[in-house]
Chain A
C-alpha cells in the first residue's frame, strides 16, 4: 500500500471530495474544454481575465481523483495571478510531472528555469510521476488552461 499512500495523499482526497472553485462563469469569461480519451475524463475551464490578470476561474466536468484534485488546486494557485505568473506556475507544475520542453534536437531541456516557484499543496501530486498513465490525469486541467490562455491572447491581438 506504500505506493498507493504516496499517490492518494489526504490533501488530494480532500480536494477530490470538496473541489474548490467548481462551477461555471458567464460570458464574457472564456470557456475551454479538455478531454482525456483514455478514461473519458472531461474538464471545462472558465477563466475571467481582466487587464492581463486571472480575476476568476471555475472548473466544470468530471474525472478521477487525480484530475479533479489537480484542477481544484490549480484554480487556487492561479486565481489573482497575472497571465505571465500563471504561465510560470504551469511550467513549474509540468516540470514536477516530469514534462520538460523539448529542444529542436529532440533532447529534453532539463535545466529548470522555474525551480524557485513554490507549488504549495500541489507538491502532494508528485507521487503521480510513478504512474505514467496518471500524468495525463494530473495535467488535463493545466493543458486546458494553457489552451484557454492561448485562445484569449490570440483573439485579443
Chain B
C-alpha cells in the first residue's frame, strides 16, 4: 500500500503556504521536519487547558500536566521498543543527549590514553563533545573511514575497535543518507568490550527504531526531525548503565533529598531531568509519534525508498554528468537524503536560485565538516524528503535546477 501523500500534505498547515503565487516545495526535512496539525494542537491544548508545573502540584491541572509529560515518555518507550520507561530521558535535543553521555559516562569511564571510535560520517554533535572530552582527559579518537560508495569501510574495524571503550556513530548519515550496519558494528564493538552510542537523529524519522534489536547501550534522537517540536530530544540508555552514571545537570526534579551537606539523586529517568521540563514539547512529540504510528513506519520507509529511487533516476537521467550525487546509488541503502554537486555552481547559489521558486533545500557543510573534507568539497546541496513529499516535488526540483544551469552554464 502506497502512502496517500496528497492527503498527508493536508495535515501540514505550513505546506499550504503559497509565496509569490508558488506552492512550497519543502525538501529540507533532514534539517527539520514540518509539523502536522495534531502536533501543533497538542501543544496548544496543553497551554490552553492544562498548563501547570509537573510533579509538584496537588491540584487537577498539575496532575494533567504530569500525565501529559509521562504519557509522552511511554509513547517514546514504545516507539523505540525500550525495555522500560525509566530508560527514556527527555533532553533538549540530540546534541544535549550526546553531551550528557560524554559529561557523565565519559568523565567517569574514560581516562588518559583510552580510545573512542567515531566515523567520518558524523555530524558535529557527535564529534565536538568527544573532542572536548579528549582534550580534557587526553583520550584518543579513532575514525572509521568512509569508502567511495558512501558506505563505512569496515575492513580495519576490528583493529580500530581493539581496546576502545566506546563506539559512537550515526545510524544514518545526514549528508550521504547512508544507513550504517548498526547491528553488526554494535556486536563487533561489544565483542571488543566497548560500549555503543547510536546517534539516530536521522534514522528514527525514517525507519523503525528498535533499541533492543539494534543492540546499543545509548541511543539519541531529536523530536523536531520526527514531526515533533524543536526543544525536545531523547536519550535512551540501558537502565543499569544509566543507574551507574553520575547526574548531569543539578537542580530541582533530579533530587530525592537535599541538605546543607549534600544531596541524593532521584530515580531514573528524573535523575537526568533537572529543572522544569518541556511539557508542551513532550505533548507535541507524543502526538508526532501517534501520527507516525497511525501511518506505520514501514510505510514511511517504503515510500521513501520509492521516492529516492525516482529522484536518483530522474536527476541522473535529466542532468547526466552535470550532477554528482553523493552516497549509495541504491535507494534501499539510504534514507530520504540526497546530497549533490551541480554544474560547478556553488550550493549557496543553487539554494538561492531554487528559493526563487519556493523550493527549500539546504546548502552548506551540514555540520559535517570532516565528511566534507573526505568528499573533497567545501559544501554540498542537500534535498531531503519525508512522508509529505512526492514525485511532483522532485519534478519541481529538477525544473529549478534547469534554471541554475541557465544562469551558470547557459550554453
Residues of A within 8 A of B (CB): 1, 3-4, 7-8, 13, 38-42, 62-66, 68, 131, 134, 137
Q: Could you show 24 A-B contacts with beta carbons less than 8 Å apart?
A: A1-B356, A3-B356, A4-B353, A7-B352, A8-B349, A38-B364, A39-B348, A39-B363, A39-B364, A39-B365, A40-B364, A40-B365, A40-B378, A41-B348, A42-B378, A62-B378, A63-B348, A64-B346, A65-B346, A65-B349, A65-B408, A66-B348, A134-B348, A137-B348
User: Which among B378, B403, B407 is the interface contact of A41 at CB below 8 angstroms?
Assistant: B378
Structural contact, A40 and B379, CB atoms closer than 8 A: yes
Chain A residue, CB-CB nearest to B356: A4
Structural contact, A131 and B365, CB atoms closer than 8 A: no
Chain B residue, CB-CB nearest to A62: B378
Bound CA span A8–B408, Å: 9
Which residues of chain A are within 8 angstroms of B363 by Cβ–Cβ distance?
A: 39
Indicate whether B139 reaches chain A with its CB closer than 8 angstroms: no
Indicate whether B345 reaches chain A with its CB closer than 8 angstroms: yes
Interface of A is mostly: mixed
Chain A residue, CB-CB nearest to B362: A39
Structural contact, A40 and B372, CB atoms closer than 8 A: yes
Indicate whether B142 reaches chain A with its CB closer than 8 angstroms: no
**Would you give the shortest CB distance from A67 to chain B, in whole angstroms?**
8
Other A-B pairs, 20, CB within 8 Å; known A8-B407, A134-B348:
A1-B356, A3-B356, A4-B407, A7-B352, A13-B408, A38-B364, A39-B364, A39-B365, A40-B365, A40-B378, A41-B348, A41-B378, A41-B379, A62-B378, A63-B348, A63-B378, A64-B348, A64-B349, A65-B408, A66-B348
**Would you give the shortest CB distance from B362 to chain A, in whole angstroms?**
10
Interface of B is mostly: helix
Indicate whether B369 reaches chain A with its CB closer than 8 angstroms: yes
Q: Mark B396-411, 1 if CB is under 8 A from A, else 0.
A: 0000000100011000
Bound CA span A1–B356, Å: 8
Structural contact, A39 and B379, CB atoms closer than 8 A: yes
Which residues of chain B are within 8 angstroms of A1 by Cβ–Cβ distance?
A: 356, 403
Indicate whether B347 reaches chain A with its CB closer than 8 angstroms: yes
Bound CA span A131–B351, Å: 12
Bound CA span A38–B353, Å: 17
Chain B residue, CB-CB nearest to A4: B356
Which residues of chain A are within 8 angstroms of B372 by Cβ–Cβ distance?
A: 40
Bound CA span A66–B365, Å: 17
Bound CA span A8–B346, Å: 13
Bound CA span A66–B345, Å: 11
Structural contact, B403 and A65, CB atoms closer than 8 A: no
Structural contact, B369 and A13, CB atoms closer than 8 A: no
Which residues of chain B are within 8 angstroms of A3 by Cβ–Cβ distance?
A: 356
Structural contact, B349 and A40, CB atoms closer than 8 A: no
Which residues of chain A are within 8 angstroms of B347 by Cβ–Cβ distance?
A: 39, 64
**Would you give the shortest CB distance from B291 to chain A, in whole angstroms?**
32
Which residues of chain B are within 8 angstroms of A42 by Cβ–Cβ distance?
A: 378
Bound CA span A137–B345, Å: 15
The B329-373 residues at the A interface (CB cut-off 8 A) are: 345-349, 352-353, 356, 363-365, 369, 372
